[in-house]
Amino acid sequence: MEDIYRSPRYKPDVESALAASAGSAMWDDWDLDGLLTDVPHKFAQKMGATYGIFCCTGTAGLHASLMALRLAPGDEVIVPCMTFIRAVTPLIHLGLQPVLVDVDPETGNIDAASIKAAITARTRAVIVVHMWGIPADMDAILDVCSNQDLQVIEDFSHAHFSAHRSGTVGSLGTVGFASLQRKKTFSVGEGGIIVTSDKGVYERLQQITSPGSFKGTSNYNEFSGFGLNLRMSPFSGVVAKCLLSRADEIVETRAKHAIEFAGLLAETGLIEPPKIPKFATLVSAYGFKPTIADSVKLEQLAAGNVSGLWRFSRFSYDAIADSPFWTKNPAHYPFSLGIKPRANGDFRGYASYLKGRVSLAVPTVDGSYWDNSVRMRWRTDIFNRLK
């Protein structure tokens, strides 16, 4: 039986494009016939930003962004207490001090009031992670940060082309970055993207991410980069070009699945869909995290899945402060600077967010998954188990 949750699900045009690229003369061109310049710019411009730059991973995208913003060792960067550890580790490599703040108890996104309470004379930037595809409250966050002259870095790895009433997430701060790795909604296998509308930031990103200058610059033939090579694989670039042409289809299909899930679960009265704030106009659902009533057990839901229509599992997303990474320094990481995150507050929002939270996998198939027979089987199987 075909696994409807395996991602990515590429169409034949990607295979054809990869095969054609293997025999192409693009290999003799520094930017691979525009794969490393034109395509990321189009990606960025589709988001509402001006410049785009591909990189090898999302982690590399954050690392390069921190450097491009000219943050200095000892500067403080505010980050949410709940996110992937790689949203913090690049700070440690650069000698920056992470300051952990609370998240909104309904969305799991960084909380604007908690940001404001954590600002000190050394604070220079804030990292906003749009969790599970749900946009953070960017109007409130940007209001706090602009009043304090703070740089805003958006991590939209979970939220490719998710939309906020003020624009596409990732394009609203000083700089945005995302992972494009194998499990992401927009997946090139392995890779990342950085977007910005700040020309100075973009020019510094060029120097940071490439061992040589970019095509079209005055010193194009010089190897004048800062010394790192964070460039995307050309094969990943080919995939990105193919997928960009149908980005709307990819995102809107997953958004539709999330809406269907929400409607069906809400009917039970015992499973509450994720809260979508009013300012979110499109949720590119990378994950779907409902809450279940105390009377409901995951074992009930698993037993009712006779048709293989869903994957409920326990929600597990530890707070950054609880990561085993911090217990391994410096013995396991002799190159570490020994920096540990500083917590600001008691993270009550995070504790509230966790209560009753479970995971529901979002299928990667197209809209035919949601025909009337599937809807009826969903209702029958789930409702029978919850009686």
Query: Over the stretch 265-279, which tens digit does the pLDDT of each residue have?
Result: 999 999 999 999 999
The DSSP-derived string for 217-254 is: STTTTS--S-S---PPPHHHHHHHHHHHTTHHHHHHHH
pLDDT computed for residue 6 by the predictor: 67
pLDDT computed for residue 1 by the predictor: 46
Dihedral angle sign, alpha carbons of residues 218, 220, 226, 229 = positive
Task: Give the whole-angstrom CA distance, residue 357 versus residue 271.
Answer: 10
Dihedral angle sign, alpha carbons of residues 43, 47, 48, 52 = negative
pLDDT computed for residue 24 by the predictor: 87
For 331-375, the pLDDT digits (tens) are 777 777 889 999 998 999 999 999 999 999 887 765 667 778 888
Ordered by where they begin, the domains of the chain are 12-246 (3.40.640.10), 249-315+356-386 (3.90.1150.10)
Q: HSE on the CB side for 334, CA within 13 Å?
A: 0
Write down the H helix ranges in the chain: 12-22, 38-47, 58-68, 89-93, 112-118, 138-147, 199-209, 234-244, 247-268, 298-303, 348-354, 372-386
Task: Give the whole-angstrom CA distance, residue 111 versus residue 105.
Answer: 9
Rounded mean pLDDT for each run of 10 residues along the chain, 387 residues in total: 64 89 83 87 98 97 97 97 94 96 98 98 98 98 97 98 97 98 90 97 90 64 68 93 92 89 91 96 94 92 82 88 83 80 94 95 71 83 78
164-169 long-range contacts (CB < 8 A, ≥24 apart) are: 164/135, 164/138, 164/279, 164/280, 164/281, 165/139, 165/279, 165/280, 165/281, 166/138, 166/139, 166/279, 167/47, 167/48, 168/46, 168/47, 168/48, 169/130, 169/135, 169/136, 169/138
41 Cβ contact list (under 8 Å, min separation 6): 51, 52
pLDDT computed for residue 377 by the predictor: 84
Task: Give the whole-angstrom CA distance, residue 207 versus residue 269.
Answer: 54
283 Cβ contact list (under 8 Å, min separation 6): 133, 134, 135, 159, 162, 255, 258, 276
pLDDT computed for residue 216 by the predictor: 66
Exposure b/e, 261-277, CB count within 10 A at least 16 = b:
bbebbeebebbbbbebb
CB 266 within 8 A of CB 259: no
Cross-strand partners of 357: 291
Indicate the average pLDDT of the chain.
90
Residue 186, judged by CB atoms within 10 A of its CB (0-12, 13-18, 19+), counts as: buried
pLDDT computed for residue 7 by the predictor: 59
CA distances from 210 to 7, 60, 95, 240 (A): 29, 12, 22, 19
Task: Give the whole-angstrom CA distance, residue 292 versus residue 103.
Answer: 20
pLDDT computed for residue 235 by the predictor: 92
CB 193 within 8 A of CB 177: yes
236: its two tokens: 């990943």
For 100-148, the pLDDT digits (tens) are 999 999 999 999 999 999 999 999 999 999 999 999 999 999 999 999 9
